[in-house]
Amino acid sequence: MNEINASDTTWLLVSSAMVLLMTPALALFYGGMVRTKNTLSTFMHSFFAMGIVTLAWVTLGYSMAFAESKGGFIGGLDHAFLNGVGTEARAGMTVPHLLFMAFQMMFAIITPALISGAYAERIKFSSYVVFTLLWSLLVYSPLCHWVWNPGGWLLSRGALDFAGGTVVHLSSGASALVMAIMLGKRKGYPTRKIVPHNLTMTLLGAGLLWFGWFGFNGGSSLAANGLASVAFVNTHIAAAIAALAWALIEAVRFGKPSLLGVASGLVAGLVAITPAAGFVGPMASVAIGLAAGAVCYGAVMLKGKLGYDDSLDAFGIHGVGGLLGALLTGVFASKVWNSAGQDGLLKGNSALLTEQAIAAAVAAAYAAVVTFVLVKGISAVMGFRVDEEIEDEGLDVALHGEEAYSLGEGGAHAVESEPPARPAPAPVLAREGA
């Protein structure tokens, strides 16, 4: 049995906290992009996930993902209700088993929260709760097992995913696309332009996501070592370059870059580098960042032409960025940077790119199919979309009895029946498909 290493344990403790911070950061990022009347409901989709998914993970989810494999497809119930998960080192690692479980839990929490960007401003809270719980157990845990469990069938085939490009981003992005199509467009979209109500909130969220992502990717080394530094540096470079690429495209198209575009670009870069962070070098991360900024920009613009309403571009950034990152891992991977990885296409190994494509296709298809079934089932039993009257009023007051900006008499908890009208902000072209 391995001994616990204090430095490795400290780094994973810090990384776990950083990854958890990403979920409130996501709430800020998404919350600023919706209309005022739906701010709190959008926050709730992230904050409540921290409760729902934690419960699912510590009871069944962790065991389904990381217990001994049953045929490569799912873990057994050996660790159900955290049975056998204690302070001893997890097999093959130098950190406590309990800490490894907690680190992975933070990934499980944020993944279904990412999907909320597709259904913002029009979903019932009760249906959200049921969907998130079931999706976590039926989609996330099996995919996690396939890609990260030593006995998982995609890992056994040779697929690489350092920190969740396939498991986290591609799965949530594919599910987001299905949700957006099945739920239909927000009332008035796209005839009435729907613009962010608080870009400063979105930018703060983007900055905190960037910070937390160092734990997301760097912590996935599971040790305080050289590999953690490789992932850390690659994470920063890809985010920075993707932000520049997105801003440059906007400047060429519209004559000026937007802050929303910069924020979108840096998140796209973070998504794309995630599967590759510990398998490529810094110059490869420059190329990945450039590709992410350009390709994800195009994907976001495409939704306007295809006619679906992915409210906050969960598919355009996380789905497309996750797919791009998975494929580019197969191009740029090099054992020079990680001897436990593989060489990619540029090193003469085309087989890795093939395996990356297979893993990406399987993950996207599985997530999409299960999401379709869940939405159909939940819609039949309890409905999924709010009534038009509630959509007009706003989900904050109708579903939660609160307002994000309550400035009337009666104190902080007062709720006005008729919120004051707000002047419409100037159009933001970067996320409207213009």
Assign residue 37 the CATH number of its domain: 1.10.3430.10
Residue 1 lies in a domain: no
Residue 207 lies in a domain: yes
Residue 69 parent element (H or E) = strand 69-70
CA distances from 371 to 322, 364, 385 (A): 18, 10, 15
Residue 407 lies in a domain: no
Give the separation between CA 391 and CA 34, rounded to whole angstroms: 13
Residue 403 lies in a domain: no
In which domain, by residue range, is 135 found? 6-397
Residue 75 parent element (H or E) = strand 74-75
The radius of gyration of the chain's CA atoms, rounded to the nearest angstrom, is: 21
Residue 428 lies in a domain: no
CA distances from 364 to 99, 174, 410 (A): 29, 5, 49
| Ramachandran angles phi, psi of 232, nearest 5° | -60, -50
Look at residue 415 in the predicted model and tell me its pLDDT.
46
Residue 419 lies in a domain: no
Q: What are the DSSP calls for 180-217, one per residue? A: HHHH-PPTTTTTS----S-HHHHHHHHHHHHHHHHHHH
Look at residue 406 in the predicted model and tell me its pLDDT.
80
* Count of helix runs (H) and strand runs (E) in the chain: 16, 2
Both tokens of 226, joined, read 């050289």
Please check whether residue 412 is in contact with residue 406, taking contact to mean a CB–CB distance below 8 angstroms.
Answer: yes
Average pLDDT, the chain: 94
Look at residue 2 in the predicted model and tell me its pLDDT.
84
Q: How many domains does the chain have?
A: 1
Share of the chain above pLDDT 70, in %: 94
CA distances from 327 to 159, 240, 292, 345, 369 (A): 10, 20, 12, 10, 22
Look at residue 220 in the predicted model and tell me its pLDDT.
98
- Give Cα 132 distance to the centre of its chain: 14
Max CA pair span of the chain = 69
Residue 282 lies in a domain: yes
Q: How confident is the model at residue 430 (pLDDT cuts 50, 70, 90)?
A: very low
H-state helical runs in 120-140 = 125-135
DSSP annotation of 357 reads H
Mean pLDDT of 102-114: 98
Please check whether residue 161 is in contact with residue 393, taking contact to mean a CB–CB distance below 8 angstroms.
Answer: no
Look at residue 193 in the predicted model and tell me its pLDDT.
86
Q: What is the pLDDT of residues 170-227, one digit of tens each?
A: 999 999 999 999 999 999 998 888 999 999 999 999 999 999 999 999 999 999 999 9
Residue 349 lies in a domain: yes
| Ramachandran angles phi, psi of 315, nearest 5° | -75, -45
Both tokens of 395, joined, read 């989900």
DSSP annotation of 394 reads -
Q: What are the DSSP calls for 2-65, one per residue? A: PPPPHHHHHHHHHHHHHHHHHHHHHHHHHHTTS-GGGHHHHHHHHHHHHHHHHHHIIIIIHHHH
Give the separation between CA 312 and CA 42, rounded to whole angstroms: 11
Q: How confident is the model at residue 431 (pLDDT cuts 50, 70, 90)?
A: low
Q: What is the pLDDT of residues 277-336, one digit of tens each?
A: 999 999 999 999 999 999 999 999 999 899 999 999 999 999 999 999 999 999 999 999
Please check whether residue 100 is in contact with residue 72, taking contact to mean a CB–CB distance below 8 angstroms.
Answer: no
